[in-house]
Structure 1
Amino acid sequence: MNDELLQRARGIRLAVFDVDGVLTDGRLYFLADGSEFKTFNTLDGHGIKMLINSGVRTAIISGRSTPVVERRARNLGIQHLYQGREDKLAVLDELLAELKLDHGQVAYLGDDLPDLPVIRRVGLGMAVASADSFVRQHAHGVTRARGGEGAAREFCELILQAQGNLETLQSAYL
């Protein structure tokens, strides 16, 4: 974690996640009946829960829509869920108006071109290691982990460390 990323993460009040390629490995699984399923990483889930417990609000903004994501968001306690929304920056602007926050107070984790306008606009815009190379090039930082393989946990722990909450949350398990 470099000093610039830690500085950007100090004032974060809202962490926003893309789904496919970030909270999952990006593969889409369709069953014969047309339904789909996704696999999520439990380490990422616990990182999001720790972030919520520290007082940082959370949101998902996804261009696709599926009941699986709704269930995962509910299970983790993610407060704001937007699915089937292609213009992610417009969604973020709506959410910020509702929460009375500004772009500088937002961290975003994405992986592909539709995420780029948000990554470039927020206070901490990051890409997962498996993100499109153009997106990685324009993000403030890139996780070491790939999407669906601990990248969200790394992102959450960066924010928690910058805000001085990581060690306290971890030590609760000792």
Structure 2
Amino acid sequence: MPPEMTSLDLQQRAQAIKLAIFDVDGVLTDGKLYFLVDGSEFKTFNTLDGHGIKMLIASGVRTAIISGRTTPVVERRAKNLGIQHLYQGREDKLVVLDELLGELDLSYEHVAYLGDDLPDLPVIRRVGLGMAVASADAFVRQHAHGVTQARGGEGAAREFCELIMRAQGSLDAAQAAYL
């Protein structure tokens, strides 16, 4: 994490977030690619991450996935979670970000992004809150505003969602609904 960033800085950045974007492989999954003999693939997703995304959506923050790969499994996961915007097979993620911001009439400071590898870095550096998962490439972690404690596919997305919700004052109410 850049030395000038503190927890307070992250909270201040998170207060302005209206759109949270997630990479898939290495962020919503552990980064491993699983291929079956017939050429199809499968991915494992963390249920804690999924519920965190659902809580974030319920708090009023829009969500998106931008992935360089294309697979029906991600489309199904996005639909199950209620993720509003899905972009697959798009390697230039900054171009996708600009398209999405134009569509939603938002600016960079209103966006949070969670990634793990070099293709994510241009977006991480451009948005208001650009974060990396603990298992991200070291260079990416070095240039992110913050780094999760959890690894990709192991609760990092939940941590990211809760950081935003905590900063915006919606986390306590979301958790209290289960008491």
Taking structure 1 as the reference length, the TM-score comes to 0.99
Q: 48, 56, 72: which is aligned to 2:61?
A: 56
Q: 144, 149, 169: which is aligned to 2:174?
A: 169
> C-alpha distance in 1, partners of 2:16/2:29?
27
> C-alpha distance in 1, partners of 2:114/2:81?
17
> C-alpha distance in 2, partners of 1:8/1:46?
23
Write the letter of the residue equivalent to 1:95.
Answer: L
Q: Does 1:149 align with 2:139?
A: no
| Consecutive unaligned residues in structure 1, runs of 5 or more | none
Q: 42, 45, 49: which is aligned to 1:40?
A: 45
Aligned to 1:135: 140
> C-alpha distance in 1, partners of 2:169/2:8?
14
> C-alpha distance in 2, partners of 1:110/1:169?
25
CA RMSD of aligned residues (A): 0.6
> C-alpha distance in 1, partners of 2:10/2:50?
22
Write the letter of the residue equivalent to 1:17.
Answer: F
Aligned to 2:72: 67
Q: 112, 118, 127: which is aligned to 2:123?
A: 118
% identical equivalent positions: 83
> C-alpha distance in 2, partners of 1:29/1:79?
26
> C-alpha distance in 1, partners of 2:172/2:8?
18
> C-alpha distance in 2, partners of 1:123/1:131?
19
Q: CA deviation at 1:125?
A: 0.1
Q: CA deviation at 1:141?
A: 0.1
Find the residue that maps to 1:125 and give its secondary structure: strand
Write the letter of the residue equivalent to 1:54.
Answer: S
Write the letter of the residue equivalent to 2:90.
Answer: R
Aligned to 2:3: none
Write the letter of the residue equivalent to 1:6.
Answer: Q
Q: 28, 40, 44: which is aligned to 2:33?
A: 28
Aligned to 1:90: 95
> C-alpha distance in 2, partners of 1:76/1:166?
18
Q: CA deviation at 1:35?
A: 0.2
Find the residue that maps to 2:38 and give its secondary structure: coil
Taking structure 2 as the reference length, the TM-score comes to 0.97
| Consecutive unaligned residues in structure 2, runs of 5 or more | 1-5
> C-alpha distance in 1, partners of 2:95/2:7?
30
- CA deviation string 1:9-50 (max 9, x = no partner): 001000000000000000000000000000000000000000
Find the residue that maps to 1:58 and give its secondary structure: strand
> C-alpha distance in 1, partners of 2:160/2:115?
11
